[in-house]
Chains A and B, each alone.
Chain A
């Protein structure tokens, strides 16, 4: 069952100019989100997850950032669109739920002011003032904010972190986008509130049948919320599989290390970490970027790793599985 693709990222590269040279962070990212599919993108901090999502929304601006590749969304290549047309897509067709609810709301405007600005951009045209107000109250109720009228008049400082995160979800969903990109929602909050937020997101997304790209470093969240997972390491995709498969039979040495580093609830065994750290993007290792940390590294890893299909819908970028040459994904 492969749904029709909604978002397709092909060979995405992104680099940045810094005082020591060019940092090549994204190194050929390939990723697909199907219609109605919930996809997770996991990796360590600094692996390029957030950059990927910024690239999708066209938030990486030259001259500092250099981006190339293709990002196809509903039949259009977003990287080739003029900024005005991209503006039309943001917030309407693709919406974003930000990581830090403390920082993502403008401190000097009321919630109502900011939410109504988003509602005014509804793809079916700007609603009347009363209509917009009603819609705002309705969406705030949907994200389970108990006193929406008070929230509308409040400034961000007057709300708790959890309430602000709900407001940000409301702002993302109010214009009924086709795709929601969620960047580590709730990580800035304490664990119980984070769980409430995630449950809320799941129920809203399921009810509305939205496609989701969930960006996180938390494997538990991925397991609970997604159908399919992409594992990212140092700017490219290491492995992808349906969520259950990936947790059952991780293939890439990096994925295996990642899973082994999660403590078990039962308390059995000692979590193992992965030796070393993410490579220097200014001088990344040639070939497989994980090779310097990989216990199975071999001379062939000096070449770019092959993209091997190991099972239905399960692919991995690693020479270890290259015994039978598999067809390469574009």
Chain B
């Protein structure tokens, strides 16, 4: 206890790191995420054949197994799989970031309103949320893809449309319990505006849970996105996408197995990274999501 008083910041940091690293997986997750972010940011300099990222043909080196200089082999038109996997990560991360920046604020705002204003806003928002939640996610995405052109933007739109209700429900649950807290009631008594109470008093207390869920959801959004691409409803050729690459390679099984296996493993690695990181954050914040 004395330590807290003497060096609160350092003690806090130490405690946080202890909670985070107690589960060794979280550290691995952090490492994976940082590595992938760096790799994609500097992709043009870190990959051996940046030109292979898009349309490119080199039939002389088509269908080569893993070796030198193609660490993970080449595809049927001679493009380096490793290069394309790294650039594929760009689309995965882009999808995750865009979907979450669209879905999370929407969901959080609706959850705040529904949890704070009892009565009809609660009923309307939560019933609509329930209906969205009761639709199988992939079915909703498919229905939306049905009326739109299959491409990355529309895939992001479809996935966002099915993702916000989870945040509404999460925040709604948090607000429902927070609104009876002393400091919220105190703010109401002194006449603080609802906007102030919601944004300054309640929202900050929801952030740890929301942040943790966002990290875990990066994993699931990337998974769903790659599934849509795998079905041919997401990123379109010649742009590299991990799901599309797996689907392409599946046609040349088992002889050219590396074409689909390595992009598949790449999906596994990124999803694993975000899941482990999310689990670690959950331990640090001590939240249920």
Question: Which residues of A pack against B, CB within 8 Å?
Answer: 19-20, 280
Contacts and interface: CB of A to CB of B under 8 A. Distances in A.
B15 A280 contact: no
A20 B15 CA distance: 8
Contacts of B19: 19
Contacts of A280: 1-2
Interface string B1-25: 1110000000000010011001000
7 contacts: A19-B15, A19-B18, A19-B19, A19-B22, A20-B3, A280-B1, A280-B2
A280 B3 CA distance: 11
Interface in B1-60: 1-3, 15, 18-19, 22
Nearest to A282: B1
Contacts of B18: 19
A169 B3 CA distance: 44
Contacts of B15: 19
Interface of B: 1-3, 15, 18-19, 22
A280 to B, nearest CB: 6
A19 B22 CA distance: 9
B201 to A, nearest CB: 30
A282 to B, nearest CB: 9
Nearest to B15: A19
B108 to A, nearest CB: 31
Nearest to B1: A280
Nearest to A19: B18
Contacts of B22: 19
Contacts of A20: 3
Nearest to B18: A19
A79 to B, nearest CB: 29
A215 B18 CA distance: 35
Nearest to B17: A19
A24 B186 CA distance: 40
Q: Closest 5 A-B residue pairs measured CB to CB?
A: A19-B18, A280-B1, A19-B15, A19-B19, A19-B22
A124 to B, nearest CB: 46
Nearest to A280: B1
Contacts of B1: 280
Contacts of B3: 20
B67 to A, nearest CB: 48
A199 B161 CA distance: 63
A140 B89 CA distance: 66
B277 to A, nearest CB: 20
Nearest to A277: B1
A20 B14 CA distance: 10
Nearest to B19: A19
A19 B3 CA distance: 13
Contacts of A19: 15, 18-19, 22
Nearest to A20: B3
Interface centre among B1, B15, B19 (most CB of A within 10 A): B1
A152 B79 CA distance: 73
A296 to B, nearest CB: 25
Nearest to B11: A20
Nearest to B3: A20
A23 to B, nearest CB: 12
A264 B19 CA distance: 47
